Amino acid sequence: MKLKTYINIQSVFFILVLLIALSVTLFSTYRLAMKNRVPECKAIKTSFTMVGSRRFEKVLLISIVPVGWHKFNVLLNGNISDGDKKYAISRMMVADYTFRDGYYYIKILENIRHARDSTADAELNRQLPAKNRVYLMRIEKVSDNSYIFADNHAPLFVCSK
């Protein structure tokens, strides 16, 4: 005895439309989540700062590592010179960000000093990003492997993968 099966055209059409809508929604959500993401990259920054009669010279290796939804870690390694004295910098900062109107609003949630960090002077610590401060940055892609991190006035550094 043979059983006949009937395929309902409306059911098949409904399932196809449902699958297409689901795939478009998933693709759009993925694109939206990945579009304004902070890139993983590294940069070397050298800068000079005058505070009163003191001259600070910083040489930093900045490593940016995304760790989750709108969070990333910044690893700072290098040194800072205060006249003839040199101090080692070895820190990790956990940051949270939001993207609005073409700018990243970055808030430093934690500032973790490693054992190698020898900056004890308060003035030296003011030369580095601090906890609970909010920074306004623009991150622009220059090439496949390079990004410019800039504030409102000038570029801060060029970061490469």
Domain positions in the chain are 9-37, 41-160
pLDDT at 131 over 90: no
Residue 35 pLDDT greater than 60, yes or no = yes
pLDDT band (50, 70, 90) for residue 13: confident
Question: What CATH fold (topology level) applies to the domain 41-160?
Answer: Lipocalin (2.40.128)
Cα–Cα nearest to 61, from 83, 41, 37, 38? 41
The model carries a pTM of: 0.75
pLDDT bin (cut points 50, 70, 90) of residue 117 is: confident
The pLDDT, as a whole number, for residue 5 is 63
pLDDT band of 37, cuts 50, 70, 90: confident
